[in-house]
Structures are given as structure tokens and as C-alpha cells.
Amino acid sequence: MKKELSIVSPELPEGFVAAGTACGVKKSGHPDLALLYSETEAAVAAAFTSNRVAAAPVRLSRQVAGTGRCRAVIANSGCANAATGERGEGDARRMAEATARLLGIDPGLVAVASTGRIGTYLPIDRIEAGIEDLAGLIRSGGNSAAAEAIMTTDTRPKETAREFAVGGRTARIWGIAKGAGMIYPRMRVAGEPHATMFCFLLTDLGAEPGLLRSALSAALERSFNRITVDGDTSTNDTVILLANGASGVRAEPGSEGEAAFRENLSRISRELAWMIVADGEGAGKFVSIEVGGAKTAGDARRAAAAVANSLLFKCALYGGTPNWGRLLAALGYSGAEIAEDRISVSLGDLEVVRAGLILDPAPERAGEELRGKRIDLRVDLGLGEGRDVYYTCDISPEYVEINRG
Amino acid sequence: MKKELSIVSPELPEGFVAAGTACGVKKSGHPDLALLYSETEAAVAAAFTSNRVAAAPVRLSRQVAGTGRCRAVIANSGCANAATGERGEGDARRMAEATARLLGIDPGLVAVASTGRIGTYLPIDRIEAGIEDLAGLIRSGGNSAAAEAIMTTDTRPKETAREFAVGGRTARIWGIAKGAGMIYPRMRVAGEPHATMFCFLLTDLGAEPGLLRSALSAALERSFNRITVDGDTSTNDTVILLANGASGVRAEPGSEGEAAFRENLSRISRELAWMIVADGEGAGKFVSIEVGGAKTAGDARRAAAAVANSLLFKCALYGGTPNWGRLLAALGYSGAEIAEDRISVSLGDLEVVRAGLILDPAPERAGEELRGKRIDLRVDLGLGEGRDVYYTCDISPEYVEINRG
């Protein structure tokens, strides 16, 4: 059996259709309503924000995901339907019900997602009318329209797909994501997987919900749960994975199909997570911060997250100036065990901190590296085997201007 | 006995002298070297950053403070002497030794503080020459020169004093502070008090080091440990309190003198802490965030700190636009126990969130309030008796520009 791993041009997996339209939630008239639909039964796994002020659609979709079965996702941009109380819950239900009517399925099989401003009510009549309009738009080529309709401050749609062969059959995973600000996914320690991103994944592979949840949980810990734009964890972020089995490939526990699925799900999740960071509000640089040599894995995560969230360090990244003191300060307050004289830091291949000392000859070459679009930082704490990576971007004056309103 | 509480024009307490000069640490030629000196024996209490990458002067001064006795503080701006290894430790010692020679005292009675860029070495020869130059400048009127010499990105010096009568005698507390960025003081749970601010307090009251420590610890928890500009905890911040007893007023445990001292120390600390926030890099607004009704005091602190550090919310404060959704989101991810439908929020006298719902008629009046220079927010979580307050400022594009280098 040959296992092919390749990034393909984004197309929906077998048995899925999609649509996107503008229904008037956004005053700009830009697309703001997306539908994803599996023509046959599908298993579901999902992850939701750990924010205790969770939006109405998050609470509804969490219930749907709990059943293990889901056939449709209806999503709007332009309004988050968060901090909207009982009326917001009713509106989320009405979105699910209108979608169920359109598709002739049980409302309990429809997940709902909303993104946009917190604390305003959905224009639910316009959304219901929009859902009716989707009837004429649903098709296997509707993927890109759906990707566009979930955008908020994103400057471009985020869509990707992969396919892989198992036992002579080919399965596909396709995904879209959105997000540019209020991005700092954080996972709960216990319970079902919680993430804080907005991402929809469809696959024509067949799998039980339990296996999907386990694979999604692992994928999140290398992707959406390791990115930050601004350190603000959203009330609405949602990851939904539907698997309808239409490819004939099945991922049984322990099978080659499972291994191939897990690998491709991780890759596609990371790819979409990276797209979000690269499109961070006002950002011009993609930055990876790898911390190794930590006393524990938790310490590595804390240290990488502190650097990735340091406003001062990210301002220096924007300026393209080497300011390793700010990076060291962030490591120092991260809560991770630190021995200052064991810290080393590399920028790409260039060593910039050795034994806790900032190297003198580096600043000019480092400045050159830092003015690039892609910055790879590696920190070695010199204390153990713990390792983790966060992905982030710079913070520019434009970020502040985008968010002043 | 009458207890007078009054803010007075800043003058040094009895038995203290001060000086400030420019010795060339700063390329701009601005003042960068300050000396505070008690002409007689003085007791000391001090608090230092909890950052695990602590600067060389912090490590030296922590030892001095541990003895309970200290007569002089020598401080420079323009270079933090942090991440400088053994050479940095030697430089900090040389600063103490040169100061001790000048004053004819034991080097073990000299505390050292440095602030400025991390990861560069002190121009120690220039500093030693500057310390010699201070000889001709030391005087009881040297207070303002010292306040100016510790400034970095501060736009104005921060100096204040209070006096109070006990048993017919008058004691004075005087203080200066600096700081505008890399400001997020955090206290350790155990051990001696740790803070992350740069503040020097002198009093001619007499007290044992133990009482000073206890009073300083209490004062910090209502002042420097409750402010944030950018969420970045410094490697260098230092609070030093010297008490020389020259007023003849003594604070014995349980005495009226102690009560008056504690009250005035708390007030002066809060006043200086507020000055720092009001002068935050690029900031135009002073913001207090009071959280009440929390399940525990820890929850109140977490909730207030999360709002005070939310980059998104602070961008909205800059814009003067009401964006209560971002405030609710920050409460939701703070880690505090939250019941969304019990949250209420007031802006000054104006209720803006009730039972978790953002009030419709408020936005315009709220917008007017938010365009002011002083913003008072009160959050009630509706769950218990926990209460705490943080003080912060807005984040502007100018903050990013100031810190791009």
C-alpha cells in the first residue's frame, strides 16, 4: 500500500457541498453567510473556546457535537451573537432550524457558528432570508464562496486541502479558517477538547466520533492551540470536523487509515493556523518561537507563549530591531524555571544569546534577518528535555488603528 | 493628639540629601545618575521584580536590603545592566563602591538601581566619574534633580511627599518613581515582598526593618502591584524605602505612629503608581478597573488584571469607542469564576452592561465618557464579596512607535 501525501488545490471531499452569500449582516455588503453540508450521515468532533463568556452559537454547537452526529454547519460573519442572553440563544436556534428546513434534515444535525462584534443581536430575519437564498447556491464548487463568507478582518480567505491514499482508495480533507484578531487559543486541561479558533474541516473518510475527537485533539495541540495574535481569547471560536465516509476509506482504530488521517489532519490544521497568524491584523511578519531544553513540557509551553504574547517584543519585531533583552525578560516572567546563564537564543542560523549574554557582533546581521517576512527563533533553556513551539506575528500601529473602533 | 494628613510640596525629609547629574550613559546628554543619601543610620525595606531574569543591581540590592540597613541609593538610567553576567555584577559592585568612597560609608550600605536597555554593559568609567562629580551637587534641595535623573521614556518626573504629625512632632515621607513602559508589577505569593516598579521612598520617621517591610508590603498591594501599562514585567524594577528617624517620630508596632505611617505610605505609593500609569508610553487616558462581587479576592484580582491587560480592550479605550464585548471576553478568559448573566458594568455613573447584556441606549453617552481623560469602570460579577482594583491606560499607535526600536 502506498501512502501519498500531497497538498492539492482546494476542492470539497466527496459527498459535501457548500455555499456562501451576502445576506446583509455586514453593512459593507460583503459575503457573510456560509453553509457546509454533507449529503449523507456524518460523524462529528468539535472544539470550542474555553472562554467562560461563550457565545450562544458555541453553546448550541457544543450540544450538537456531543451527539457525535452532524450534517451541516451554518456560519455567519459580522455579528458574534455573544453577550446576547436568551434572545441570542433563540436566534442561534432559529439559524439551525432554518438550515434544517432548507436541507430537509433534523435541526439537531445542524451546528451554528457566528463571528464579528460581541454584544449586538443578529439581524435574524435577514439571516433566515439569506438561508433560503442559499438553496440556489449549494454545490460541490461552493467551497471558496464559503471561505469568503466567514471572513471578518481577514485580508484573504484561508482554504486548503490534502488527499491521501489508503488501501487503493483516496480520501480527502478540506478545511477553511478565519481569524486575524482576538486570537489566542487556549486548551482546557480536562474534559472534551476546547480550542479558540474558527475552522471547519470536512473529510470523506469514515470514522467514529471518538476517533475523530482524539485525532482533532492531537491536531489542535500543534496548530490552533499554539498561535497568538494579540493574547485575547475569543468568546466564539469553534473548530468543527465532519467525516462522512463517502471515499470508502475508513479509519479504524490502529489501522493505517487512522495513521494517515491523523497525519493529514495535523498538517492541514497547522497550515490553516499558520495562515491565520500570517494574516494577523496589521501584521507583516510570521514568527515561530521554539523553546527547547525546558525542565518540563509545560515550562516550554509557558516560556514560548510568554514571548509570543509580549507586546514589547512584538513591537520590536515590527520595527525589525533586535531587542533580545525583551525576549529574555519575557522568559523571566513566564513562570517557567529559568537559569539565566544557561539560556541561548538563535535567530535562524545566527546565535544571538549565549549563556544568557547578548552577543555583541550579532545586532547588525540580526537586524537584517529581522527585517525579513519570516522569523524563526529558537530558545534553549539548558535545563531539560521540554520542548514546544508557538507561532505569532508582529504588532504594528495599524493593529491599534484597526481595533480602535 | 492630632493627625494631620496633607500633600505638601515635595521636599526631602530631615537628614536626607540628594543629587542628580548627567554622566553620559544616555547619548542624549540628559540626566542619568541619581543619588539619595541619609546623613545618619537608616533602616531599609525593599521590593524587587519577580522576573527570574533579574538584573545585576537587583541581585546586589536584594542583599543590601536583607541586612535591614542602608544609607544610600545610587541609580542610573539609560542602561539596565541586565543580561550582563559576571561583568554586570562587577559593574554594579563598582557603582556601590564608588558611592561608598564618595560618602565615606561601608559599600554594604549602598543599594544600586539601573534602568534602561537590557543586554548592554554600563559605561562604568563614565558612571564612576559621574559619582565623583556628584560630590559638589549633594544637598537637601537635590530632590528634583534626582527625580529627573531616573527618567527613561517618562515624559515628566514623578515626585511627591506627605507629612503627618504624631505626638506633637511632624514626620515626612517623600518619594520619586519612574516608568512608562515594560510595566506590569507582579507579587510573589511567598517570601519577601517582590514588586516590579522603580520607586525610592525616604522618610525621617524611625522604624525597625520588620515594620518597614510589613508596611511596604501592604502599600505595594494597593499601588505598584496593581498597575499595568503593557503586561511586560521588567527585569529591573525596584522599590526601596529608607527610614532614618531624624524627625524624632517613631513607629513602634501597634502605635499611632505606625498607623499614621502605614496610611501615608500607602497613599504616597498609590499616588506615585498612578503617576506612572498616567504617563504610560503613548497613553492619553488614566483608567481604573474595579471588580467587585467576585467569588474570591483572587478571582477579583484575576478579572481586573485580565481587563487591564487586554490589548483589544485598550485599543478601544484609545479610540474612545465603547466595546463592552471585549471587556466581557477578557472577564471570560481571566480564569475567574464567571456567570455571564450576573455581570454588570458601569462607566462612571452610567450602567453599560446589566445581567450580561450590553445596554442599547448607552453607547452614545458611553462614547462621550470614553473620550475623556479619566475612565472609571466598575464590574460587578454578582457571585460573592471578592473585590480588587487595577489601574491602567490606553494603548495607542504611538506606544508601538516608541517601542519599535
Q: How far apart are CA A378 and CA A343, in angstroms?
A: 11
Sequence-separated (6 or more) residues with CB below 8 Å from residue B92: B56, B57, B59, B60, B81, B112, B114
User: How is residue A117 written as a grid cell?
Assistant: 462584534
Query: CB contact, 8 Å: A346 with chain B?
Result: no
Give tens-digit pLDDT for A118-175: 889 999 999 999 999 998 999 999 999 999 999 988 889 999 999 999 989 999 999 9
Q: What's residue A234's pLDDT? A: 87
Element (H, E) at B262: helix B256-278
Query: CB contact, 8 Å: A254 with chain B?
Result: no
Q: What's residue A185's pLDDT? A: 65
Q: How far apart are CA B242 and CA A287, in angstroms?
A: 45
Query: CB contact, 8 Å: A401 with chain B?
Result: yes
Residue A216 has pLDDT above 50, yes or no: yes
Chain A neighbors of B355, CB-CB under 8 A: 85
Q: How far apart are CA A287 and CA B85, in angstroms?
A: 28
Asked if B310 lies within 8 A of A84 by C-beta distance, the reply is no
Q: What's residue A184's pLDDT? A: 80
Asked if A52 lies within 8 A of B356 by C-beta distance, the reply is no
Q: How far apart are CA B277 and CA B272, in angstroms?
A: 9
Contact B74, B34 (CB under 8 A): yes
Beta bridge partners of B380: B292, B344
Asked if B333 lies within 8 A of A230 by C-beta distance, the reply is no
Query: CB contact, 8 Å: A330 with chain B?
Result: yes
Per-residue pLDDT band at A194 (split at 50, 70, 90): very low
Q: Among B233, B309, B332, whose Cβ lies nearest the Cβ of A235?
A: B332
Asked if A119 lies within 8 A of B51 by C-beta distance, the reply is no
Is the pLDDT higher at B364 or at A280? Answer: A280
Contact B325, A82 (CB under 8 A): yes
User: Per-residue pLDDT averaged across A295-307, rounded?
Assistant: 97
Chain B neighbors of A395, CB-CB under 8 A: 311, 400
Query: CB contact, 8 Å: A321 with chain B?
Result: yes
Sheet strand arrangement including A16-21: A16-21, A33-38, A72-79, A110-117
Nearest residue in chain A measured CA to CA from B182:
A312
**Residue whose C-alpha is closest to residue B39's, from B14, B6, B10, B9:** B14
Q: Which domains does chain B have, with CATH numbers?
A: 6-278 (3.60.70.12), 286-402 (3.10.20.340)
Distance from CA of B357 to the nearest CA of A (A): 6
Q: Catalytic site residues of B?
A: 196
> Which ranges constitute the DSSP H helices of B281-393?
297-309, 311-319, 324-333, 362-370
CB atoms within 10 A of CB A217: 17
Q: How far apart are CA A265 and CA B74, in angstroms?
A: 59
**Residue whose C-alpha is closest to residue B324's, from B338, B343, B349, B342:** B343
User: Per-residue pLDDT averaged across B279-285, rounded?
Assistant: 92
Of the candidates A84, A99, A160, A196, the residue annotated as catalytic is A196
Residue A1 has pLDDT above 70, yes or no: no
Mean pLDDT rounded to a whole number for chain A = 91
**Mutation target vs B (from A333, A345, A402; most B CBs, 10 A cutoff):** A333
Nearest residue in chain B measured CA to CA from A325:
B118
Q: Among A119, A184, A343, whose Cβ lies nearest the Cβ of B324?
A: A119
Chain A neighbors of B371, CB-CB under 8 A: none
Instruction: Please identify among residues 368-397 of chain B the ones whose CB lies closer than 8 Å to any CB of chain A.
Output: 395-397
Chain B neighbors of A355, CB-CB under 8 A: 85
Nearest residue in chain A measured CA to CA from B356:
A83
Sequence-separated (6 or more) residues with CB below 8 Å from residue A327: A307, A310, A313, A345, A353, A377, A379
CB atoms within 10 A of CB A139: 12
Residue B387 has pLDDT above 60, yes or no: yes
CA dihedral (B173, B178, B184, B185) in degrees, to 10, reads: -30
Nearest residue in chain A measured CA to CA from B236:
A329
pTM score, whole prediction: 0.89
Give tens-digit pLDDT for B297-340: 999 999 999 999 999 999 999 999 878 999 999 999 999 999 99
Q: How far apart are CA B31 and CA B26, in angstroms?
A: 8
Q: What's residue B9's pLDDT? A: 64
Sequence-separated (6 or more) residues with CB below 8 Å from residue A381: A291, A292, A293, A294, A295, A299, A300, A303, A331, A336, A337, A338, A339, A342, A343
Give tens-digit pLDDT for A230-251: 998 888 888 899 999 999 999 9
Asked if A117 lies within 8 A of B325 by C-beta distance, the reply is yes
Residue B189 has pLDDT above 50, yes or no: no
User: How is residue A339 written as a grid cell?
Assistant: 537559569
Residue B185 has pLDDT above 70, yes or no: no
**Residue whose C-alpha is closest to residue A303's, from A357, A340, A349, A266:** A340
Specify the length of chain A in residues: 405
Distance set, CA A204 to CA A159, B87, B329, B366 (Å): 17, 63, 36, 50
CB pairs under 8 A between A and B: 209
Per-residue pLDDT band at A4 (split at 50, 70, 90): very low
Distance set, CA B14 to CA A364, B69, B109, B244 (Å): 51, 18, 19, 8
Label the pairing between strands A386-393 and A238-243: unpaired
DSSP character at residue A321: -
Distance from CA of B363 to the nearest CA of A (A): 11
Asked if B232 lies within 8 A of A181 by C-beta distance, the reply is no
Asked if A328 lies within 8 A of B400 by C-beta distance, the reply is no
Q: How far apart are CA B383 and CA B380, in angstroms?
A: 8
Residue B370 has pLDDT above 90, yes or no: no
The torsion angles phi and psi of B356, rounded to 5 degrees, stand at: 80, 0
Asked if B332 lies within 8 A of A54 by C-beta distance, the reply is yes
Asked if A325 lies within 8 A of B118 by C-beta distance, the reply is yes
User: Per-residue pLDDT averaged across B245-264, rounded?
Assistant: 94
Asked if B400 lies within 8 A of A400 by C-beta distance, the reply is yes
Sequence-separated (6 or more) residues with CB below 8 Å from residue B42: B69, B70, B71, B242, B243, B244, B245
Q: So what's the ipTM on this one?
A: 0.89
The torsion angles phi and psi of B392, rounded to 5 degrees, stand at: -150, -170
**Residue whose C-alpha is closest to residue B63's, from B110, B127, B100:** B110
Q: How far apart are CA B55 and CA B116, in angstroms?
A: 11
Residue A6 has pLDDT above 50, yes or no: no
**Mutation target vs A (from B400, B401, B402; most A CBs, 10 A cutoff):** B400
DSSP character at residue A224: G
Chain A neighbors of B333, CB-CB under 8 A: 50-52, 184, 186, 232-233
The torsion angles phi and psi of A306, rounded to 5 degrees, stand at: -65, -45
Asked if B332 lies within 8 A of A399 by C-beta distance, the reply is no
Active site residue A228: no
